[in-house]
Amino acid sequence: MSTQRRNALKKLFASAAATVGLGFLAKAETAAASYSAPREKEASDIVYDQDVPLFSQATKFNGLLFIAGQGAHFAGDIKSHTDHVLKQLQKQLEANGSSMEKVLKVNVYLDDIKDWKDMNEVFKGRFGKKPPVRTTVAVAKGGVPGDSLVEMDCIAYL
């Protein structure tokens, strides 16, 4: 192949690459212009430890609502604890503009995995016809904080 022909092909490929590259850049600039920066998160019901913020009961960010872990800190069995925790989640969801039907993800922490079946009996149907995804684990030594038999947190949309 002659040097002249090789140079002509290099220019042709360089021109094509530049054209494709410019088209990509134009699309990227359009996407960037339409992008709205995330809003600042909103925290509610902040729990303090010696006047220092420790955690929030609920945090809103970009149309999502994150509810902190809820437990049942009283004597009772897994069914009464599960019912109480689900009612607490519902209160937090509704107080922050969401609902049980808008929950996308639930994490369940059991003090004892043997309680899984009884917890499920109380859990089922509480999130409407399209239940959220869920992860259930039994916690390691020491149990769920506050002597609760179950703790749950969730993510919902607003």
- pTM (2 d.p.): 0.73
Burial class (CB in 10 A: 0-12, 13-18, 19+), 153: middle
Give the CATH H-level superfamily of domain 42-157: RutC-like (3.30.1330.40)
pLDDT tens readout for residues 10-46:
665 566 555 555 554 455 455 444 545 557 778 888 8
Largest alpha-carbon pair distance within the chain? 90
Residue found under tokens 């140079």? 7
Of residues 113 and 52, the one with the higher pLDDT is: 113
**Sequence ranges of the domains in the chain:** 1-35, 42-157
Residue found under tokens 């209160």? 91
Of residues 145 and 95, the one with the higher pLDDT is: 95
Lowest mean pLDDT among 3-7, 70-74, 81-85, 145-149: 3-7
> What pLDDT is attached to residue 104?
98
Residue found under tokens 């503009």? 97
